[in-house]
Structures are given as structure tokens and as C-alpha cells.
Structure 1
Amino acid sequence: MAASAARCAPFSRAVVNSIRKLYPEALADKSWDNTGLLLEAPFDPARRRSNTVLLTIDLTKAVVDEAIELDASVIVSYHPIIFKGLKSITLANGQQQSLLRLAAEGISVYSPHSAIDAAPGGLNDWLADIITGTPAVLSQKSSPRRSRSPAKAFEEDDDPFVVKGGSAYKLQHHPSPRLQPFDRKLTVTSAAHDRDPVVPLQVEGAPGAGTGRIVKFKERQTLSILIDRVARGLGKPKGFPVAVPQGKSITEITVSSVGICAGSGGGLLSGLDVDLLFTGELSHHEALAAIERGTSVITLFHSNSERGFLDDVLRTQLEESVSQEWDRLRADENDGSDAFQDDEVTIEVSEQDRDPYGIVVQTG
């Protein structure tokens, strides 16, 4: 007797279809990126998981535990957990161990990465909205927080970045939008501007797509106002790196143009003739080269330039699009089995996901 063909869960297929419509894989830079369905877990009807999607920037062991406790069917991990070819998948490797655990639990993994970066209205446009004070992104309301059960919500007392026992220092982690809602009340008004991709892409159905963004203000903006927008748009972090040309102070610098890149922007932004670079990270020498040519720099630590997008934009998009795709798939394929009975769709943003770096703050 021939074995039946393995398939992933119907709900998981609805999620993948939905993400591919929102952020087509044709937008991804396949020359280096590994975007798409990275783990397609086989469906076991006897162990059907809930219609829950967990959003994260990095797929760590802690996030895997969280997904299992949430009974999630799919993890949407912005950064791909698989970048290079694998010659084996064993328990000896931490990341491969996570993949094996997820496959055994029936949880699939999709990575949209550079497709989200390049998409019109995607991650780099979100950063451009923050730096310009664009009302559209600042007026978005996050969905009400749902109580976590049985998964344990992150609490401040559990934070290993806080040194206990009376130390004069503590390590503050950049706040997560799941823990500290964004402050939408900017102290400045939105700034009229033009914006274009640094490297445009010609992809059917995606006008304005491309890598990075260049913002050109109609009127020059003070650097201090831009820093304020960034801080408020990203949940008031304890601090983030800013570099200015020697001999200049933040209060006297004005900006007419900004080069933007989520994550690591050194390669993309290094040759731009702009007043400010706004990115997740630059190397020491890239930042030094920028200020030597008169360009200021704002960096946020790599993944902190990306994480807020999950709760601010992607969560709401997927709540709508996955619901629509799931309704369509149920209408087309419903065979009366339990796999199609649940009409609920839940999109969660990880409470365990965070950048590996925190900021040491002297308290005494």
C-alpha cells in the first residue's frame, strides 16, 4: 500500500499564502537572502494545533518554547533561521535543535525578511514614517493585548539584563512594543518630504518597491527633532547610538536628507550623499567615515530597527489577510474534518524576542 502524501496543516497553508500575497518573494534579494517557507511541518490530524501565528524577529530557543506553549501552528520569523545550506540536521547544533523540535511539534516557519524590507509600505517605509513624523504610522492602534495562557508573559523581574543586589549598574534592554506601547504623541508635526528607494526594484504590482529609502525634506529639520521622533516612535528606549561630525553639536545640526536601511545599513548607505544615516547598525569604520564626510548617524542596534514593525504594522495586516485567506481555503477545501472547524485566527507578537544587546546604565 502506498503511503499517503505528507502535507502541512490547512491553516498553515492559509498563513503562507497570505504572507506571499502581502510580501511577494519576488521582492526578496535572493542573491544573499533565504526568504520563504523554511520549515514545512507535516500535519498530524491527531495533534492539530490552534490557528495561532507567532511573529518574531529572531527564532531563538526561547521563542520556540513560547510557540509550543501558545499552541501556534506557524512562526513568522523575520530573520531566516536557515541562511546557508545544511549538510546535516542534528541535535548538537542549537538552531538545528530548534528546527527539529518545531518539526516534531508540527509548527512551520516562514521568513519574509528582505521582501518586507523592499515592499512599498513595508519595513523601510515604516522607518521613513517614523523619521518624518508621518501621521499614518503614528496613528495606528495596536490590537488589544491578549492574556497569555498557558504561556508565561515576560515580566520585568525576569529580565536578566537587570543586575540585582545593589549594583551601581544595570543593563537595560531596549523596550519591546509588547511591553511598552508606543507613544503616539509627537512633540513636532509631520514634515513634508519626498521619498524613494535607494535601489529601486521593478516588480509587477509593487510600485515604489526597492531596497532602503532616501527621504528629502521640503524644509530642513533639526537633528534633535529627528532624534525625538525616533525615540518616541520606537517606544522610548533608554538610549541609542548617535554620531555627529567632530566640532558639531546635536542642537546645531540640521538635516535635509536621510538614508534609511533596516538592520545593517553599511553596505547600502555608505555611498549616499545625505545629511543623516538612519539604520540598525554600522561598523566603527563605517560610522567614522560618515561623520568625516559631514554625515550624522542614528543607529538602533540591529533588530531594534525592525522589531516594532511586527506589532505596529504586520500584526494588523495578518489579522485581516490570514482571516480572509482562511475563509477562502475553508470554503474551497472543507472536507468536514476537525482541521477546518475552527474559524478563529490569532496573531501574536513574541514576548521573548529581543535584541541580544542591552544598554548598561549607571545608577549610583
Structure 2
Amino acid sequence: MFANGQTVVQLLEQLAPKHIAMENDKIGLQLGTLQKEVTKVLVALDVTHEVVDEAIATGAELIVAHHAIIYRPLAKLDTSTPAGKLYEKLIKHDIAVYIAHTNLDVADGGINDWMADMLGVPAEGRSSLEDVHTDKLYKLVVFVPETHHEQVLQAVWNAGAGQIGGYSHCSFNINGTGTFKPGDGAQPFIGETGRLERVHEVRIETIVPHSAHRKVVQAMLKAHPYEEVAYDLYPVELKGRVFGLGRVGKLPEAVKLGELAERAKTAFDVPALRLVGDPERLVRKVAVLGGSGSRYIRHASFAGADVLVTGDIDYHTAHDALAAGLSIIDPGHNIEKLMKPRLADWLRGELQQRKYATEAVPSAINTEVFRFV
């Protein structure tokens, strides 16, 4: 059985939910439809004519890309323009394009974490360069018969409820008596139509993050035995998990800046990179940010980083960083290509776990526009 396009996207959004993207970012479905069976997903950094040709040749009905193909509202669709020709080719071959951009950057286990992993920055002790989204929290209150208390509790925990800071499986449970009278047409799990029932029940209270609230409620309803479930879901002031752009953390041991630059060349598969700072300088605290990081120099300095690894650093920003004592390793914007095999592997695993035959493969097309001569 092959997955529907919407199912593929729902799986992807478990890793990179749309609501954690930066404001006004162009993400989500940009062209085509998700209401169709998908036999193959092509994961790409950019959607170029070469990438579309690859999708056609390999039979992919859906391209999941990092960089958007539509940046601003279209006044018209002129198929004589380069962009218009690209859209025309995608439409003629019924290939949909879905974009995961800053939501994939920000996500736990997304691009910025992958970058840090590849440079040897341990996950323990990492923090973000800039907080961009704080998950809202809700309180879920549900009344359950004692016989199904543990079943419902485990279901909501497994769906993502009960996390407070570094503690999981948090809940409060109170025993009491529930009353109800089934009306005509009701099919009660307990009791009889027209008779007032008193049942030993447990009131479960637990915390639910916004990112998981639909999944938690669905899991609760599925596990609950009642035909009509009595529950409340309301917002609370307690702050939830914070999602941020970029990562900063300490290497196990200090290394020379030049050695870290060579490590970056190998890890990110680039023939050359730009280096700001003394190659002999010892560095340990490393900040990383996929894509264009010029405006994050101050963030890296404020975080106490010795070096920032990012792309698209301009001349004057490099001088400002050097004056502030911050070294820079600039391997280019295209190193975000690392998302192709990793996201394809992640998506393939999720599909296989659910017994779908849909494939997820990384694009083999190199979309780097710069050449070193």
C-alpha cells in the first residue's frame, strides 16, 4: 500500500511542524496536490529544472525541498519565463512540491542539529542562537472509569502529553464518582438507558503541548471506552518547549581553528571554504547555523562562541566578527544539502514503520551555483 501525499506530509510535520517556522516563511504545499497516491518522494535542497527532470525520470510524484520555489505572490503565470517554465513542467507531470524551510532548521533533530552532529558538537549542553517559537501548553482533564484509567493514561503519554521541563509522564489523578443517565438512542459502555448511573471514575490531569494536542486528544478518545467522553482542554500560562534557530555547544576538547575548518570541509563535502581568524587559534565553543548567517554574528558572540560556522558572510560582517574576537568558517549556503539523505532516511523509516511501500530518496543533483576556479 502506498501513502497518500497528505499522509507523507503529516509524517514530515511530526519532525518539522509548520507552526515553528519563522514568521512569513514560505513553507508548505507550493504547487500541485497532496490528494493522490505517492509511490516515491524526492528530497531536494532546491527545485531546479534538473531536479524536476530527475523526479520525472525516477517516477517521483512529490518533491520535498528546503528552498521555496514561490517567494512572493504571483501576478500571472507566464510560462515563457524561467520560473514559469519550471511551474509548467511540474504541473504537466503532476509533481507536487512541498517546502520545509525554517521549520526544518529550527526542529529538534533538524538541519542545525545535523550540522552540529557532523562537526562533533555533543548534543548534551547545546542551546539555540535565537529563540523563535515557544510551544503553548494546555491542560487536559478527562474523566475515566477506574477499569480503563491506566489504558487512557498510557495512551496520552505515548502521544506526547505529560512533559514538564526535564520530567516526563507527569499527571495528577483523583478518584471520585461520576454520574450520568443515558438517553434514548444512546449505547452506553456502562449502565442502561433511562437509569441514573453512579460510576467510580478517575479524573486525569496532564500537560499537553500545542504541537501534539490533536494527536493526544485523538489517542485519548481512541483509548477511552465511553461513547461520549467528558474532557476539557484549556490553555495555561506555563511556558512549553522553546524552539530556536542555530545551535551552540562545546567540543569535547579545544582544537585549532584550521583543524576545525578541515573537519568542516570533509563533513560538508566542500572543496574549499572561507576562514576568518587565525588558523592556529584554539577554539572549543562552536556555533552553527545553516544557510545565511550574517545577521547572527552578535548572537554567536553573546553566546560566548569562539567560532561561527555558517554561510553567506559578507566582507564588512567578517571584519565586525574579527574585531569582536569571533572566528568564522563559511563553507557556503549549499551545505544545507546535508538535509537530503538525512531527511530521506527519516521519512523512509517512518513510512516503513507504518507498512507503506512509498519510497523516499535523496536527490542526486548538485545545485551549488558557485564554482571554485
Q: TM-score, normalised by structure 1?
A: 0.67
Distance change >3 Å, CA 10–CA 259, structure 1 → 2:
closer
* Residue 97 of structure 1 pairs with residue 85 of structure 2: yes
Equivalent residue in structure 2 for 1:56, among 44, 65, 70? 44
When residues 36 and 214 of structure 1 are mapped into structure 2, their CA distance, relative to the original with a 3 A threshold, is same
> Do the aligned partners of 1:132 and 1:226 also contact (CA within 8 Å) in 2?
no
Aligned position for 1:112:
100
Q: Does the aligned pair in 2 maintain the 1:133–1:229 contact within 8 Å?
A: no
SS in structure 2 of the partner of residue 81 of structure 1:
coil
Of 89, 107, 126, 1:195 maps to 126
C-alpha offsets along residues 189-222 of structure 1, whole Å, 9 cap, x if unaligned? xxx9621011223123594521111223465332
Partner residue in 1 for 2:205: none
Counterpart in the other structure of 1:259: 287
Q: How does 1:134-213 map to 2 (within 5 A)?
A: 134=122, 194-200=125-131, 201-203=133-135, 204=209, 207=241, 209-213=243-247
Give the stretch that moved more between structures: 260-269 or 111-120.
260-269
Alignment-derived partner of residue 11 in structure 2: 18
- Which deviations, in whole Å up to 9, do the C-alpha atoms of 1:269-310 show, x marking residues without a partner? 344323211102211111121112221110111122x10222
Displacement after TM superposition at 1:63 (Å): 0.7
1:309 correspondence with 2:324: no
- Mark the CA change 1:121 to 1:43 in structure 2 (over 3 Å): closer, same or farther: closer
> Which residue pairs with 1:34 in the alignment?
26
- 1:220 maps onto 2:259 in alignment: no
Are positions 1:284 and 2:318 aligned together?
A: no
CA distance in 2, matches of 1:310, 1:15: 16
Q: CA 1:218 to 1:43, structure 2 compared with 1: closer, same or farther past 3 Å?
A: closer
Deviations 1:329-358 (A, max 9, x none): xxxxxxxxxxxxxx5222221122321012
Amino acid at match of 1:222: K
Identity of aligned residues (%): 27
Q: Which letter maps to 1:238?
A: P
Match of 2:361?
348
Q: Which has the higher strand share?
A: 2
Q: Within 2, Cα distance between the matches of 1:211 and 1:16?
A: 22
Question: Structure 1 residues 123, 42: closer, same or farther in 2, change over 3 A?
Answer: closer
| Cα distance in structure 2, aligned partners of 1:133 and 1:352 | 28
The answer to whether the 8 A contact 2:121-2:286 is kept is: no
Corresponding residue number in structure 1 for 2:220: none
CA distance in 2, matches of 1:22, 1:308: 16
Distance in 2, Cα, partners of 1:93 & 1:268: 35
The answer as to whether partners of 2:116 and 2:247 remain within 8 angstroms in 1 is yes
Displacement of 1:10 after TM fit? 5.9
Q: Which amino acid in the other structure matches residue 367 of structure 2?
A: R
The one-letter code of the counterpart of 1:92 is S
Is the 2:29–2:97 contact (alpha carbons within 8 Å) kept by the matching residues of 1? yes
Contact residue 41 and residue 102 of structure 1 kept, 8 A: no
Q: Distance in 2 between matches of 1:23 and 1:13?
A: 15
* CA distance 1:308–1:10, shift in 2 (3 Å): closer
Deviation per CA, 1:87-135: give whole Å up to 9, x if none: 111202212321222122111110001001000111001111122255x
- Structure 2 length-normalised TM: 0.66
Offset of 1:15 from its aligned partner? 1.6
d(CA) in 1 for partners of 2:40, 2:299: 43
Inter-partner Cα distance in structure 2 for 1:202 and 1:110: 24
SS at match of 1:194: coil
> How big is the shift at 1:62?
0.8
Aligned: 1:321 with 2:321:
no
Bigger Cα Rg? 2
The structure-2 alpha-carbon separation of the partners of 1:210 and 1:133, relative to structure 1 and needing over 3 Å to count, comes to closer
Q: Distance in 1 between matches of 2:357 and 2:344?
A: 15
Letter in 1 for 2:101: H
Which shifted more, 344-353 or 203-212?
Answer: 203-212
Q: Structure 2: any 5+ residue segments left out of the alignment?
A: 136-208, 212-239
Which residue in the other structure is 1:167 paired with? Answer: none
Looking at structure 2, the residues matched to 94 and 288 of structure 1 have their Cα atoms a distance apart, in angstroms, of 37
- For the 8 Å contact 2:5–2:35, the answer to whether it is kept is no
CA distance in 1 between partners of 2:252 and 2:359 (Å): 41
| Backbone CA RMSD of aligned residues | 2.4
Amino acid of the residue matched to residue 20 of structure 2? L
Query: What is the aligned partner in structure 1 of residue 120 from structure 2?
Result: 132
Q: How many residues align?
A: 266
- Secondary structure at the aligned position of 2:283 is classed as strand
5+ long unaligned stretches in structure 1: 1-8, 135-191, 328-342
Q: Distance in 2 between matches of 1:40 and 1:268?
A: 35
CA distance in structure 2 between the partners assigned to 1:310 and 1:269 by the alignment: 27
